[in-house]
Chain A
């Protein structure tokens, strides 16, 4: 089996990155970049062969497109019940309203398109914060070890056992429903698993020969972390990110459904909450319930499939024999 690209390849370890080298043009930095580029290319080549991964990527691409171009796809005026484009209330799908209308006469298609934005933003931003906290804690704990590790890992373990949803609910209830609360709550409750994974990886990287060599040559902690450790936990962070987004989007919808989302923003979760509150399930207004839910499933599915495919490629244990 070919060794994993991150593990054994020699790495330029010049103690001083300011060395002026005119010819040849390849500085250590450039070599490292080229090497990583090649590694990424290899992963991509394998990824392309993975049907599931590609399917996930295509679905995700579609929703990213919708989120970015929402204003072109549907006028934001359609979110306002006083907008002239609103139609009859609770109208079943028709040519003019392909996914019907809600109880204020707004097109469910418009709502779902704009909901994509909020749901994606919440998913991505909260994941970014999660990863930031997770990486910081994981790095510090893994790199420095000793008492820092003990304290941080104990804290992580504690947060890990606190059940996610009840904590999120309690926090959101205490802080009041808003867009930012949801992001904050998701981030604050989902960092521990990221921290653990990163720490484990850092621990194993720390003892790699090239890292030890760099340290012996007098590289500072900052240099070691930013040049050797972080770039190498990168792929792991990436794989972790992908799955975290999926979870974050699911939790956004759950929190919103429980009435802890921001009722003034249209997300998929708030559309579902509104439809539930307005009796759509009983009255049989399926067009108001199915689209936002299906959108959640598809986006979460796409992230999960991408994460799964990456795991398949990056985790040698799972390779087909």
Chain B
């Protein structure tokens, strides 16, 4: 298959998947019941006329296929509906939450992949050593931890303070409310608030990457070209960094990118307990408020970001590893 055809097929697949998610999203939320009844919940004395008007406005008086077309059209125009709870357009509610999440996920993913890969390399290289065993126990432990539980412990220790030790870090948000910092002071202020959630997320996901890097390196080390290189008398360090690691890195990087989409949703509990005003916190509060339009919008956004991450991983993989295209 040519590179071009491969790329086109991948992009087409992503678009198809996106279409599936759109349809799934539509029917999932239609299945709950009449959206208008939900909209009117708690509002007494609404006239039948007002209900009709609302239905027309939402396109609910149309037959289902037309409703679907209406929904797709609206979605592409950026109209994701109207939040039950905030009484604002969903797109407006979501838009204000994207940046904090990207910041938190971006930095913590960078840190956890870098550390995870570094640890994984050393483990794989010295398979069965005390280091390997120790790190394996450590990473398996962090991997098995519910992030939010670890977060609670961290809050108890660093945000509240234990015994005579004072609370070291601010919590509850993205910046110092009302301080009005600008420029560098603002950046520093945000970072200060990010320390604890960043730490928890980094440690929680580090295990995953190191485990993947470790096994990926182990597989690579068993391959013929490594044995050949060693037979040729290439120095061990060179075998590791010149031959094994670059090859083992490929699957790890792919997983990292795939993981990015999932981390996006995995921050839900972390943002909740650290009151980080991002998409995850919005998800948690919308669950509480049963704010279905917002949940629907978030679900679409999360799914779309995973699909895009998948596509990027596929394309990157084919670029880095020509064998994939040949296959």
Query: Contact residues of A with B, CB < 8 Å?
Result: 52, 154, 157-158, 161-167, 169-171, 173-174, 246, 250, 253-254, 257-260, 272, 276, 281-282, 284, 286, 289-290, 293, 296-298, 300-301, 304-305, 308, 317-321
Q: B residues bordering A, Cβ < 8 Å?
A: 13, 16-17, 20-21, 24, 28-29, 31-32, 127-128, 136, 140-141, 143-146, 148-150, 152-153, 155-156, 160, 162, 215, 218-219, 221-222, 261-262, 264-266, 268-269, 272-273, 283-284, 287-288, 290, 292, 295-296, 298-299, 302-303, 306-307, 310
Least CB distance from A192 to B in Å reads: 13
Inter-chain contact A284/B160, CB cutoff 8 Å: yes
User: Would you list 10 pairs from A and B whose C-beta atoms are within 8 A, ordered by A residue?
Assistant: A158-B21, A163-B303, A169-B268, A170-B28, A246-B144, A254-B268, A281-B155, A281-B160, A301-B144, A319-B222
- The interface centre, meaning the residue of B28, B141, B287, B298 with most chain A CB atoms within 10 A of its CB, is B287
Considering the complex, give the chain A residue whose CB is closest to the CB of B284: A258
The 9 nearest A-B residue pairs measured at CB: A293-B149, A300-B144, A301-B144, A163-B265, A158-B20, A165-B265, A166-B302, A163-B302, A166-B265
Q: Which residues of chain A are near B215, meaning CB under 8 Å?
A: 318
- A289-B156 in contact (CB<8A): yes
Is the CB–CB distance between B269 and A163 below 8 Å?
Answer: no
A296 and B146 contacting across the interface, CB-CB below 8 Å: yes
Tell me if B269 and A254 are in contact (CB < 8 A): yes
- In whole Å, how far is B231's beta carbon from the nearest beta carbon of chain A? 14
**Alpha-carbon distance A272/B151, docked complex (angstroms):** 12
Q: Report A-chain residues with C-beta under 8 Å of the C-beta of B307.
A: 161
Q: Are A260 and B287 in contact (CB under 8 A)?
A: yes
Prevailing SS type, chain B contact patch: helix
Q: Among A161, A319, A321, point to the contact of B17 (Cβ < 8 A).
A: A161
Q: Which residues on the B side are within 8 Å of A305 (C-beta)? A: 140
In the bound assembly, the distance between CA atoms of A282 and B264 in angstroms comes to 27
B265 touches A257 (CB 8 A): no
- Indicate if the CB atoms of A272 and B149 lie closer than 8 Å: yes
Q: Closest B-chain residue to A292, C-beta based?
A: B149
| CA of A308 to CA of B303, assembled, Å | 30
Closest residue of A by beta carbon distance from B311: A161
CB contacts (< 8 Å) of A296 on chain B: these are 144-146, 149
**A276-B24 Cα distance, complex, nearest whole Å:** 34
Query: Contact: B148 with A174, CB < 8 Å?
Result: no
The reply to whether A304 and B143 form a contact with Cβ atoms under 8 Å apart is: yes
Q: Which among A154, A165, A171, A284 has the greatest number of chain B C-beta atoms within 10 A?
A: A165
Given A161-B310, A165-B266: A320 and B127 interface contact (C-beta under 8 Å): yes
| Bound-complex Cα distance A276 to B298 (A) | 25
| Nearest-neighbor residue (CB-CB) of B20 within chain A | A158
- Contact A308 to B140, CB < 8 A, known contacts A257-B148, A296-B149, A318-B219: yes
The chain A residue with its CB closest to the CB of B273 is A276
